[in-house]
Structure 1
């Protein structure tokens, strides 16, 4: 038990530091760490990662809110879709075969790596209208499904969408994304707990460690040029994808 707790703390510290360094939600990094270090399967890693998103999202959103860089109305609309999406995603998590989950997550990692090399276009921000509100709910639904299924925080999807489709300032997009993920994480984690996929205390331990470690990572991020940071993160994600692909291939070979 002690060894497991230490492992969760260690993974939280590593994932949180890298999350702060690269400005990406820790879930995309902690899921591979859980699989490769603690040897949990894809299903339990995704459930645990989603629970771990909560402490970091709370701490991060408070930080952004203190500086006035959160759009509360947009976050609310995203959260509406996210809550429903998380319920759908966590239900799929329990039903999709493990082999499919492994390869789907590998593909997600590779798509994220490609995304880091792309320059985002910026739309003109028009405020929240009826149409944009419906689109924000739809965005939350998609992100909620992905979060429930893969255990990711959603920032890797929400932030680019808010910047390129809705014209948000990148900093406000990050703050809004973090706030919207709080109810999404709670919704998905409750469903995973009911499905006996996760113990919320495990997510709290790992997520709290990640939240603490994200601060020194964020400080270091101000020293590294943004383009170099994107390249380093993409290399890290591709390396994780190759490791997981190799592991999935070996498990498939064993039948």
Structure 2
């Protein structure tokens, strides 16, 4: 890897970390398009994003553990099915045409916009003491955890994301967890899904190891900087920035998918 490439990875990691801390966007949402821009194939971008997510999610989970906020039992109950389905996601990603993989990523970005709105609504209900989860006819907790972890793991392997955007609202809806508990558990599960996804992609030869480590370390630094800036920004400004960025990423990813289709 040349000094120019290393510099590009450092800048990309910092940029992704700043956006993650500032807008609450998971690293994979930003890193996959960045890696494609740097000239890597969609499958390499997905695999390398998973590697960088290990670093950032592990750092956050260690901090939660030190503060006594990490429940290992909850993490394992969600994480075990996620580890299995992550391998399925890896196999599907490796088999899909690159254009379809990019299209699936663009659809996830669109879903992101909706799910963030759902998450905010659930957070307000949780803060006001309203019942967030379903009443007595709730889904069996074991089945709910398998479903939640399974979806998150599959998406981690398929698209190189952590899966928190899916896990947080599902934990609140299906298990009646609070927003804070859901986020803390989700971050711990992401460590497992990212490791499982990276392992699966490594067996396929898709991971750019040095690049992924640089991106992860850069993301750590960038997130620390942006989390200090976030409290100073009005909520409306953050919301506009978030939706604008996702819209740009959706258009860019769809354009890349069209380019891949035209090339084949």
| In structure 2, distance between residues paired with 1:155 and 1:225 | 24
Unaligned runs of 5+ in 2: 127-131
Q: Which runs of 5+ in 1 are unaligned?
A: none
Q: Distance in 2 between matches of 1:211 and 1:173?
A: 21
- Deviation of 1:196 (Å): 0.5
Q: 1:234 to 1:71 in 2, by over 3 A?
A: farther
| Equivalence for 1:110 | 110
Describe the SS at the equivalent of 2:140: helix
Shift of 1:67: 2.9
Specify the alignment match of 1:47 in structure 2: 47
Equivalent in 156, 170, 177 of residue 168 of structure 1: 177
Q: Structure 1 CA distance, aligned partners of 2:5 and 2:12?
A: 10
SS in 2 for 1:116: helix
Report the secondary structure of 1:40's partner residue. coil
Residues 78 and 149 of structure 2 are in contact (CA less than 8 Å); yes or no, is this contact kept in structure 1? Answer: yes
Cα distance in 1, alignment partners of residues 76 and 240 from structure 2: 33
Report the counterpart of residue 82 of structure 1 in structure 2.
Answer: 82
Instruction: Tell me the equivalent position of 2:70.
Output: 70
TM-score normalised by structure 1 residue count: 0.90
3-state DSSP class of the match of 1:68? coil
| C-alpha distance in 1 between matches for 2:255 and 2:262 | 11
Deviations 1:164-206 (A, max 9, x none): 3322222222121111111211111111111100133332221
Shift of 1:133: 3.0
- The superposition leaves residues 110-162 of structure 1 with CA deviations (integer Å, 9 ceiling, x where unpaired) of 12123334443352599xx9931332122111111101110011111111212
TM-score (norm 2): 0.88
Given that residues 116 and 165 in structure 2 are in contact (C-alpha distance below 8 angstroms), is that contact kept between their aligned partners in structure 1? Answer: no
Matching of residue 3 in structure 1 with residue 12 in structure 2? no
- For the Cα contact (< 8 Å) 2:98–2:260, is it kept in 1? no
Query: Which of 151, 159, 163 pairs up with 1:142?
Result: 151
Whether the aligned pair in 2 keeps the contact of 1:8 and 1:206 (CA below 8 Å) is yes
- Measured after TM superposition, the shift of residue 29 of structure 1 is 1.1
Question: Does the C-alpha gap of structure 1 residues 94 and 32 become closer, same or farther in structure 2, counting only changes over 3 Å?
Answer: same
Partner of 1:159 in structure 2? Answer: 168
> Aligned pair in 2 of structure 1 residues 239, 254: CA closer, same or farther (>3 Å)?
same
Deviations 1:64-86 (A, max 9, x none): 22333333222111110111011
Distance 1:117 1:141 in 2: 22
In structure 1, the residue matched to 2:239 is 230
Q: Which runs of 4+ in 1 moved over 6 A?
A: none
Q: Please state if 1:184 is matched with 2:193.
A: yes
> What residue in structure 2 maps to residue 209 of structure 1?
218
Give the length in aligned residue pairs: 252
SS in 2 for 1:69: coil
Which residue does 2:249 correspond to in 1?
A: 240
